[in-house]
Amino acid sequence: MLEEQFLEYVKKMTAYNEAIGVMFWDLRTGAPKKGVEQRSEVIGMLSSEAFQMSTSEEMAAFLAQLNTGEAGQHISDITKKMLSECQKEYDRNKKIPADEYKEYIILASKSESAWEEAKAKSDFALFQPYLEKIVEYKKRFVEYWGYKGNKYNTLLDMYEPGVTVEVIDRVFGQLRDRIVPLVQQIAASTNKPATSFLYRHFPKEQQRKFSLAILKELGYDFEAGRLDETVHPFATGLNPGDVRITTRYDENDFRTAIFGTIHECGHALYEQNISKELIGTNLCDGTSMGIHESQSLFFEKFIGKNYSFWKRNYGILKQYTPGQFDDVALDDFYRAVNESKPSLIRIEADELTYPLHIMVRYEIEKGLINGEIEVKDLPQIWNDKYEEYLGIRPENDAKGVLQDVHWSGGDFGYFPSYALGYMYAAQFKHAILKDLPDFDQLIEDGKVDEIRQWLTYHIHQYGKTKQPLEILQDVTGEGLNAGYLIDYLEEKYRRIYQLV
């Protein structure tokens, strides 16, 4: 009954994680500030408990006996996959000397504070010594963990198992070759959409009501979730019966809330529809950062920015903000929300230019980890790359190399998932059309749930029981192919900007 003991053991680990998840959600949605310090202690204590369980002697015994021993002969397939996840985590945590890891955690925490200050003062020099140390640690960790081919592969593998530098270099190369010229053509276009009406006042409470209506239409289950307001929107899956999303309201730009909500809804639909059988296992989660992002981007881009979606919902939107769009035809509205314009800040980028922001970061990360780029040169390299890909140059570090928090906390290997997710989404979209050729019509008829069901059947339900590239292969019949995203962007933006 060693298998049962193992299942019980993992269940306890997931219980800690769920409790931590509830506390994080609570901290971000209105926990009183004087309780935060003690709450952080509590979260720290539970996290450390879960961490210890993942590297304990008990875990080592489970892995040894169930992976190879007699007891492991008749375990279920689910248990095998659970063991494999535990083994990965065990190796990752055990291979780094405990003292070194502790030093690194302290450094990362200080580094985040230094980054905050550096960004506020727009002064990279304040952050540089911290980032140098972070990069040194990461390089050393890669040596401990080991690597195949490129050293950066080991970091990629943490967020997107199976994806390598070789694959990314290929698809990013294709994207670059066709998107950069397109962006340049659009910048020179004389057919730019009018957008000033987007910035008219739209009361927050009305935006909230419209967001709720849209969530309902997209199939978000309010008996298994709720919508709240936060500074930084997120989705959090506590268990498939409780997947919460948050959004942010800008009364002078309704797009923040609406498209943000649709994006988080995509994440949430993934987690609400993971098979109930996986509850209490370590497989009850999205299978990777990239596949997760593919679901949020699928909903944001292929549904929320779709003409059919607004054909259906533009009239409804108008009811929530009387007067704002009286003088705006549907086609002009559609072109406006799909405006593309090179910009400096990643999180504000449109769907066409967004992948270019990711490429800049990917190339820099890869260079840093392989020792081909030095931290001190980052501002220069960053600015040069922005100029090369987007045709604009940051006027300072706050709007350049200091804009993202990721590196300060040591999150290298994470950025590519954003672009991978986008490519997955386009590839899934192409596959859906074979089964649901009237995709746009379904959206126009308010039958998005049929699309959601397709995604659940092919992707959501599996949680982590399938690896990302396994899902991609099973759903689309091929490996990663940037062509679908490129074709989509080319077609859509040539049409919107009336390019020849």
Give yes or no for residue 395 binding a copy of itself (CB under 8 A): no
Whether the CB-CB separation of 411 and 164 falls below 8 Å is answered with no
d(CA 132, CA 376): 8
d(CA 98, CA 86): 18
d(CA 7, CA 372): 45
Over the window 238 to 257, marking each residue x when it contacts a copy of itself by CB under 8 A and - when it does not, the resulting string is xxxxx-x-------------
Least separation, in Å, of the C-beta of 276 and a copy of itself?
A: 9
Give yes or no for residue 229 binding a copy of itself (CB under 8 A): no
* 304 DSSP 8-state letter: I
Give yes or no for residue 107 binding a copy of itself (CB under 8 A): no
Among 193, 219, 266, 280, binds a copy of itself (CB under 8 A): 280
Among 193, 225, 342, 394, binds a copy of itself (CB under 8 A): 225
Give yes or no for residue 58 binding a copy of itself (CB under 8 A): no
Catalytic residue among 3, 160, 217, 264, which? 264
Give yes or no for residue 36 binding a copy of itself (CB under 8 A): yes
Q: Considering only CA atoms, which of 370, 436, 378, 442 is closest in space to residue 404?
A: 378
Spatial neighbors of 447 by CB under 8 A, at least 6 apart, are none
Least separation, in Å, of the C-beta of 452 and a copy of itself?
A: 17
Give yes or no for residue 37 binding a copy of itself (CB under 8 A): yes
265 vs 432 by CB, closer to a copy of itself? 265
Q: Which two tokens stand for residue 292?
A: 């997760």
Over the window 166 to 205, marking each residue x when it contacts a copy of itself by CB under 8 A and - when it does not, the resulting string is ----------------------------------------
Least separation, in Å, of the C-beta of 281 and a copy of itself?
A: 12
279 vs 499 by CB, closer to a copy of itself? 279
264 is catalytic: yes
Among 2, 5, 18, 256, binds a copy of itself (CB under 8 A): 18
229 vs 332 by CB, closer to a copy of itself? 229
Q: Which residue pairs from 227-231 have beta carbons closer than 8 angstroms and sit at least 24 positions apart in sequence?
A: 227/261, 228/29, 228/30, 229/29, 230/28, 230/29, 231/28
Whether the CB-CB separation of 460 and 269 falls below 8 Å is answered with yes
11 vs 110 by CB, closer to a copy of itself? 11
Q: Considering only CA atoms, which of 470, 497, 451, 453 is closest in space to residue 302?
A: 451
3-state helix vs strand vs coil in the chain, percent to 5: 70, 5, 30
d(CA 453, CA 460): 9
Catalytic positions, please? 264
Residues in contact with a copy of itself by the rule CB under 8 A: 11-12, 15-16, 18-20, 22-23, 26, 30-39, 41-42, 45-46, 49, 221-226, 238-242, 244, 279-280
